[in-house]
Amino acid sequence: MRAMLRRLLPLVLLTVPFSPMSADIIELKDGTIYLGTAVVENPTGITITSFGREETIPQSEILLLSKDLAALSSTEVEIRLPDRSVLKGKIRNYDEDIGLLLETYFGTITLPPRAIEVIQDPVRRTLFFGVPFQAGLTAGFQAPLADMADNFGGSFTLRANAEWNTGLLRGLYAGLEFGWLPLDYTTSTAVSYHLFDLTAYAMYRYLGTQLASGVLNRFIPFALLGGGVTYITVRDDRPAAPLEIRNEISPVLRVALGADARITSSLSVRAAGGLFAVIQSSLFATAYGELGLVFTP
């Protein structure tokens, strides 16, 4: 904390009086905030002089346009400085000549305009770009398809996953999942099958709902496609069985559609359904549905 204060001292003017704020406020859908003077406004965009720089912003990216500081009074913002350090606090005033009055945890400071690289609302930014990481647990039911249904019945499945925001494309995540699928071998109760799979997948989460009003912004639809391997263990307790236990590894494919419903900022409910296929001499596929919880640190 002391080191940060020493870096800020050349930028901080604690006794400069402010006049009431009259700057234009522009907040984008991704949480970026501009304070300054809008010099050109037309149906396609707005050009604003902000923090000593001129920016042209398309109308389609603008969430809020105001001259009233009250629009930001309750928002805790993050301000990135030229040395890449970040200050957190609430904006209390702004003057293009004096700077920005910021209420922080360690006091109220004034930052000259050119000392500000970018201002962002971190909550809005997360809604727009998605959380950086999440992990989940799901349970469900699977039903064998086609030829597989001749020898196997429906059974439950358990899965645990971890997902990372790739940052390559808005809504694009990479995931890793471990699953357990015990199969019901209907031909003989003396034979049991257990599948333990490890699957890597790409997931696209549609984050456009996060900008909607009402209850819709609590839902995030998604689609995923992945592949991996499964360890198959077979126990055969029939008297005539040549081997009591057999093990093998086979490739698998998985595809799913679903949605996460946000309950709190760190907890969501996931519902999904899809296909899970084991690739051997032929394709053995099951359809499944699952329900579970997703946790965000």
Residue 213 pLDDT grade (very low, low, confident, very high; cuts 50, 70, 90): confident
3-state secondary structure the chain: CHHHHHHHHHHCCCCCCCCCCCCEEEEECCCEEEEEEEEEEECCEEEEEECCEEEEEEHHHEEEEECCHHHCCCCEEEEECCCCCEEEEEEEEEECCCEEEEEECCEEEEECHHHCCEEECHHHHHHHHCCCEEEEEEEEEEEECHHHHHCEECEEEEEEEEEEECCCCCCEEEEEEEEEEEEEECCCCCEEEEEEEEEEEEEEECHHHHHCCHHHHHEEEEEEEEEEEEEEEEEECCCCCCCCEEEEEEEEEEEEEEEEEEEECCEEEEEEEEEEEEECCCEEEEEEEEEEEEECC
Alpha carbons 297 and 156: distance in angstroms, whole number: 28
Q: In this predicted structure, what is the pLDDT of residue 189? A: 84
Do 96 and 227 share a structural domain? Answer: no
Do 158 and 95 share a structural domain? Answer: no
Alpha carbons 200 and 161: distance in angstroms, whole number: 10
Domain end residue (candidates: 102, 126, 150): 126
Do 163 and 53 share a structural domain? Answer: no
Q: In this predicted structure, what is the pLDDT of residue 218? A: 93
Per-residue model confidence as pLDDT tens digits over 268-285: 999 999 999 999 988 899
Return the closest-CA partner of residue 68 out of 97, 35, 39, 117.
35
Q: In this predicted structure, what is the pLDDT of residue 73? A: 83
Residue pair 176/161 in contact (Cβ under 8 Å)? The answer is yes
Return the closest-CA partner of residue 119 out of 11, 35, 210, 8.
35
Alpha carbons 16 and 5: distance in angstroms, whole number: 18
Do 201 and 54 share a structural domain? Answer: no
Domain end residue (candidates: 66, 99, 126): 126
Alpha carbons 196 and 41: distance in angstroms, whole number: 59
Range of the domain at 110: 2-126
Per-residue model confidence as pLDDT tens digits over 38-79: 877 777 789 998 988 888 999 899 998 888 888 888 899 999
Query: How many domains, the chain?
Result: 2
Q: Assign residue 245 the CATH number of its domain.
A: 2.40.160.20
Do 261 and 179 share a structural domain? Answer: yes
Q: In this predicted structure, what is the pLDDT of residue 22? A: 54
Cα–chain center distance at 124: 12
Do 231 and 107 share a structural domain? Answer: no
Do 228 and 84 share a structural domain? Answer: no
Q: Assign residue 76 the CATH number of its domain.
A: 2.30.30.100
Q: Which residue has the higher pLDDT, 2 or 217?
A: 217
Do 134 and 256 share a structural domain? Answer: yes
Report pTM: 0.84
Residue pair 123/33 in contact (Cβ under 8 Å)? The answer is no
Do 202 and 253 share a structural domain? Answer: yes
Do 68 and 7 share a structural domain? Answer: yes
Do 156 and 275 share a structural domain? Answer: yes
Do 135 and 106 share a structural domain? Answer: no
Q: Is pLDDT above 80 for 234?
A: yes
Alpha carbons 88 and 109: distance in angstroms, whole number: 11
Domain end residue (candidates: 81, 100, 126): 126
Q: In this predicted structure, what is the pLDDT of residue 141? A: 97
